[in-house]
Amino acid sequence: MARKVWKFFCSVKLTIVLFVLILIPSTIGTIIQQNAPDPTKYVEIYGPAWDGVFRFLGFYDIYHDLRFIILLVLLGLNTFACTLNRLKLQWRMLGMMMTHFGLLLILTGGLIGAIAGVKGFMVIHEGETTDEMSIGQVSHGVETLPFEVKLVDFILDTHEEPAEELIVFDVKAKRESKYKIEQGKSYPLPQPGWVKPVSLLGLNFNPTGTVEITTVFPHATMVTSLTEGPEKTGIAAVEFRILGNNVEESAFAVSQMQHPYVFAPAKIGVGYAKIASANTVDEQIRKAAATFAQATNRLEVTVPEKTAPTVYSADVGSKFEVAGTDYSIEVLRYVPDFVIDTTTRQVTSRSQFPNNPAIQVRVTGPAGAKEQWIFSKFPAVHTAGDIPLQLKFLRNESMAGIEDYVLVLSPADGDPVFAHIAEGKPAKTAKLEPGKPFEIGDTGYRIVADKFFENANMKPEMVNRTDGPGHPAIEITLDHGGSPKSHYLWAGNPTDVNGYRMMYHQEERIRDFYSILQIIDGGKMVAEKKIEVNDPLRYGGYSFYQSSYDSEALRWSGLQVKKDPGVPLVYAGFSFQILGMIVIFYINPLVRKARKSQA
Amino acid sequence: MSGALINYSFLTFIVASFVYAVNNLAKKEELKKTFGYLGSLSLLIGLILMTAAILIRWQQAQRPPFSNMYESLILFAWSIALIYLVLELVYGIRIAGAFAAILAVIAIAAASFFDKSIEALVPALQSNWLLYHVLTCFVGYAAFAVSAAASIVYLILKGRGKVQASQKAKAGEKAESPTELVKVLQSFNYEAVRFGFLFLGVGIITGAVWANEAWGTYWSWDPKETWSLITWIIYAIMIHFKYVSGRFGVKDINTFNAICSIVGFFAVIFTYFGVNFILSGLHSYA
């Protein structure tokens, strides 16, 4: 019996069979996503029946499945038996011994690493000291290191100029091209694939038309001016000023516009409506007041593996614990029109209009605190970190960010009126006389209506203003049959232009990032090192690798922590493998040749 | 400058593939010889032009130019030409030349689809391991490409009945005669595979060591890693198979090897492109 087993393990035939058997799950693991962060996704993709089969076969974590590990162990035993069985102390066997011994060392080292190794992740804020790291994905737990780690400083080294390009996607043909931003330069629009190889032969033609980078605005501001006519637009509007606290802000409200004008410093909103009859004034005011009842920002939190999301207040200062988890969330900031300066990483609001509303939250969990921005219009953008929660910022768009609301009503058969709505209730109504100020409750501000428009013509124009907040933008000219037309593109804002989706993309070019770490053991600082991606800090059997960082405020650093006692064995195995192959393939034939010629 | 040299080498490789084809098909001894030399010469000129282009780019970028799809495809074409020429020199046969040259042409044509501007390296790639890892992998890939070319030629010859003839042929024939040719083609294929096996092995190992230095994990079963291992195991099967072919009932080990080389090369192509465009993982930047 024992001899039979031994013979079974000795055969090269078994090796071939094992190789083929290992290939199958290896391939499956590259096709099916392994350890998906959201396991409910599997049922969605494969349906409940296949999901059951795949789960039973261990396809979702196939490389750590016992059945796969058994295959590897069998390959190890097979190699061991084969080598031992053919063991003859002869020079020509040397190479084979080395490769096979190398393979055994690698498999053994891997096994030791899997059993005795530790892999964790730690987030440290600048100046903070910690000895805790989180293990695994969500709630697998926290492990304590036998010493403490301090993050002295985190440094991000960037290239001065951001990387920028114009990305043009031909929606119909599904072709994309990227172009360098260079004022005055003209490029061919996305072309069919065969054009490029043909142009290698020196032929040049352009079947699609061109796009020109006409003007580059590093600090663009869009200025909208209003005129009465010449187009009969039918758009009614009122131009007004808000006065008070040594500020005079000139603006306008449009009757057809969904969002009111918002004067952010005092949270004053101004809306305008043309109505048919003076009799409905009171009703209009009541209606406007009613929309305030739902005028709150909300934060929807979904915990994976739980179906129903929970909704919390998203007002600045709101702080709550997420039920059923170790996480708590605090709302830090709100901006109506998010924009980030790529060099200073300062977040500001491009305008007071809610074009891109975002809130900043601090999520505190087992791995420390992490700050991130959540966008109401881009629910997918926030998935930046290792936080296993899905956060959604829900807004009641119409009255967001407004505390005092001034409604200008203009009845067709009577005089216009100002109505002030405070705390969601009608407060004061007064007849509107052009040029005469109207007190907006106790806000300290007054409003003056200057001019009414029946057919307002809005003319947006891009200007480069270095004094204002400004945001990069470009003007492009599209020429593909017909007369060339120009369009404006804000950086980071995908825009559809005549069947092409265009985006002026800017990205900070990161040269490198470093963390200065100190190891504190027994109350004493015993090691210090500036680590970067390819250069970890090693201490006490643990290695600390630069992994991620706080991309917004640069206040924390994410470290991969690893302890793997199997690595020396694996490395030794690598060396034996390489040396063995060289011996078998190139030294043995030389020796054989030399012997032959001697004989 | 670098781009223009690549265009010239592209033209030279196209010429080489035609000249090699004439060499392979020609019946007259004289013609065969002349076109053989011309084929080798044009491939060599293309190789020199490409070497210059790569060195110029290296100088311009101040780093090894092996970091994106464009650069790697150029390296791939360069390695194919180099390894083929070395094997041609060692074995003295030109029959796989046309296919090898066409593979190099395809690699350069494919490179033209990608952005060829020189970009700064992302932090993860700023390491000396980039040079060792990418170079060894691509020399391996190229050796497998050459072995696939030789295998295709072998299967074509077999299909035309020339292999059968070889078994009855007498000894003492010239290297370019069909008989010797088949034998030589087989060692040519086997030699290229062993060379590729060694280099891909070193490539996987340098990748593992690099990953351990950069991330603390020498093996994470990411799709690119896994597929390079799958490729390596396919060739491991081929190398071990000769000891047990009889026990699996395989009589024609040469045909088995040829098929194995071609299947293996498909795995190489998938490791190289498929993973980048179909699957995703740590290598998403390359």
Burial of residue A203, with CB atoms counted within 10 A of its CB: 0-12 exposed, 13-18 middle, 19 or more buried: exposed
- d(CA B4, CA B70) in angstroms, rounded, equals 15
Tokens of A507: 């990205």
By DSSP bridging, strand A368-375 and strand A358-365 are antiparallel
Total number of residues shown for chain A: 599
Alpha-carbon Rg of chain A, whole angstroms?
34
- Asked if B113's CB is within 8 angstroms of A533's CB, the reply is no
Q: In Å, how far are A154, A388, A515 from A364, measured between CA atoms? A: 20, 12, 21
What would the mean pLDDT of A188-195 be, rounded to a whole number?
A: 80
Backbone torsion region of residue A174, taken as left when φ is above 0, otherwise alpha when ψ lies between -120 and 50, otherwise beta: left
- Asked if A196's CB is within 8 angstroms of B7's CB, the reply is no
- d(CA A564, CA A538) in angstroms, rounded, equals 12
pLDDT tens digits, residue range B73-82?
Answer: 999 999 999 9
Sign of CA dihedral B252, B258, B259, B263: positive
Query: What is the predicted ipTM?
Result: 0.85
Is residue A197's pLDDT more than 80?
no
What is the phi/psi pair of residue A335, to 5°? -130, 135
Q: Please give the pLDDT value at position B286.
A: 37
Give the domain ranges of chain B: 1-120, 129-286
- Asked if B216's CB is within 8 angstroms of A200's CB, the reply is no
- Give the gap in angstroms from C-alpha B7 to the nearest C-alpha of chain A: 6
The answer to whether A289 and A425 have CB atoms below 8 angstroms apart is yes
- d(CA A250, CA A278) in angstroms, rounded, equals 27
- Give the gap in angstroms from C-alpha A485 to the nearest C-alpha of chain B: 27
Per-residue H/E/C for A42-99: HHHHHHHHHHHHHHHCCHHHHHHCHHHHHHHHHHHHHHHHHHHHCCCCCHHHHHHHHH
What would the mean pLDDT of A204-224 be, rounded to a whole number?
A: 80
Q: In Å, how far are A321, B7, B181, B252, B257 from B153, measured between CA atoms? A: 69, 28, 10, 16, 13
The runs of H, that is alpha helices, within chain B are 2-25, 29-61, 69-91, 97-111, 129-159, 162-168, 178-214, 223-241, 253-269, 275-277
Helix, strand, or coil here: A494? coil
Q: Which of A349-358, A386-395, A479-488, B63-72 has the highest mean pLDDT?
A: B63-72
- Give the gap in angstroms from C-alpha A310 to the nearest C-alpha of chain B: 33
Sequence letter at residue B228: S
Using CA coordinates, name the residue in chain B closest to A61: B221
Residue entry with tokens 């890693």? B225
Q: Which of A16, A199, A545 sits opposite B244 (nearest CB)?
A: A16
Alpha-carbon Rg of chain B, whole angstroms?
20
Q: Which of B62, B227, B240 best tests the A interface by mutation, with the highest count of A CBs <10 A?
A: B240
Which residues, 6+ apart, have CB-to-CB distance to B101 below 8 Å? B13, B14, B16, B17, B20, B39, B43, B81, B84
Tokens of A389: 């929660």
What are the strands, taking DSSP E only, across A481-551?
485-490, 495-497, 500-507, 510-521, 524-531, 537-539, 542-549
Residue entry with tokens 């060591």? B209
Q: Which of A110, A193, A512 sits opposite B123 (nearest CB)?
A: A512
Report the candidate in B138, B174, B163 with the shortest Cα–Cα distance to residue B272: B138
- Asked if B234's CB is within 8 angstroms of A578's CB, the reply is no
Q: Which of A63-77, A149-163, A391-405, B106-120 has the highest mean pLDDT?
A: A63-77
Total number of residues shown for chain B: 286
Helix, strand, or coil here: B37? helix
Is residue A342's pLDDT more than 80?
no
- d(CA A304, CA A327) in angstroms, rounded, equals 13
Q: Please give the pLDDT value at position B175.
A: 45
- Give the gap in angstroms from C-alpha A451 to the nearest C-alpha of chain B: 54
- d(CA A179, CA A187) in angstroms, rounded, equals 7
Q: Which of A23, A31, A532 sits opposite B123 (nearest CB)?
A: A532
Please report which confidence band the pLDDT of residue A351 belongs to, taking 50, 70 and 90 as the band edges: low
Q: In Å, how far are A564, B218, B221 from A114, measured between CA atoms? A: 8, 12, 14
Please report which confidence band the pLDDT of residue B148 belongs to, taking 50, 70 and 90 as the band edges: very high
Q: Is the Cβ of A85 closer than 8 Å to some Cβ of chain B?
A: no
Burial of residue B207, with CB atoms counted within 10 A of its CB: 0-12 exposed, 13-18 middle, 19 or more buried: buried
Sequence letter at residue B30: E
Q: Please give the pLDDT value at position B284.
A: 43
Tokens of A451: 């001019």
- Asked if A582's CB is within 8 angstroms of B243's CB, the reply is no
- d(CA A20, CA A1) in angstroms, rounded, equals 27
Q: Please give the pLDDT value at position B168.
A: 42
Other residues' Cβ atoms within 10 Å of the Cβ of residue A593: 10
Q: Is the Cβ of A485 closer than 8 Å to some Cβ of chain B?
A: no
Q: Residues of CATH 2.60.98.10 domain(s) within chain A?
A: 118-159+510-563
The answer to whether B196 and B261 have CB atoms below 8 angstroms apart is no
pLDDT-above-90 percentage for chain B: 48
Report the candidate in B184, B177, B283, B197 with the shortest Cα–Cα distance to residue B239: B197
What would the mean pLDDT of A219-237 be, rounded to a whole number?
A: 79
The answer to whether A561 and A544 have CB atoms below 8 angstroms apart is yes
Please report which confidence band the pLDDT of residue A223 belongs to, taking 50, 70 and 90 as the band edges: confident
Tokens of B201: 């092995």
- d(CA A574, CA B219) in angstroms, rounded, equals 13
Is residue A95's pLDDT more than 90?
no
Residue entry with tokens 């053989």? B36
The answer to whether B93 and B80 have CB atoms below 8 angstroms apart is no
Using CA coordinates, name the residue in chain B closest to A510: B122
Q: Please give the pLDDT value at position B285.
A: 40
Q: Which of B112, B198, B218 sits opposite A581 (nearest CB)?
A: B198
What would the mean pLDDT of B2-30 be, rounded to a whole number?
A: 89
Is residue B172's pLDDT more than 50?
no
What would the mean pLDDT of B157-169 be, rounded to a whole number?
A: 59
Interface of A with B in 200-239 (CB under 8 A): 200-202
Interface of B with A in 176-215 (CB under 8 A): 194-195, 197-198, 201-202, 205, 208-210, 212-215
Prior bond of A484 cis (ω within 30°): no
Is residue B137's pLDDT more than 70?
yes
- Give the gap in angstroms from C-alpha B32 to the nearest C-alpha of chain A: 28
- Asked if A578's CB is within 8 angstroms of B123's CB, the reply is no
Using CA coordinates, name the residue in chain A closest to B242: A12
By DSSP bridging, strand A268-275 and strand A404-411 are parallel
Domain A118-159+510-563 coded CATH 1.20.140.10: no
A535: which chain B residues are within 8 Å (Cβ-Cβ)? 213
Q: Which of A157-161, A406-410, B199-203 has the highest mean pLDDT?
A: B199-203
- d(CA B207, CA B199) in angstroms, rounded, equals 12
The answer to whether A260 and A270 have CB atoms below 8 angstroms apart is yes
B240: which chain A residues are within 8 Å (Cβ-Cβ)? 12, 15-16, 19
Number of Cβ pairs < 8 A linking chain A and chain B: 116
What would the mean pLDDT of A351-357 be, rounded to a whole number?
A: 71
- d(CA A68, CA B93) in angstroms, rounded, equals 44
Using CA coordinates, name the residue in chain A closest to B248: A13
- d(CA B79, CA B104) in angstroms, rounded, equals 9
Other residues' Cβ atoms within 10 Å of the Cβ of residue A511: 15
Q: State CA A551 to chain mean position distance.
A: 10
pLDDT tens digits, residue range B202-232?
Answer: 999 999 999 998 888 899 888 889 999 999 9
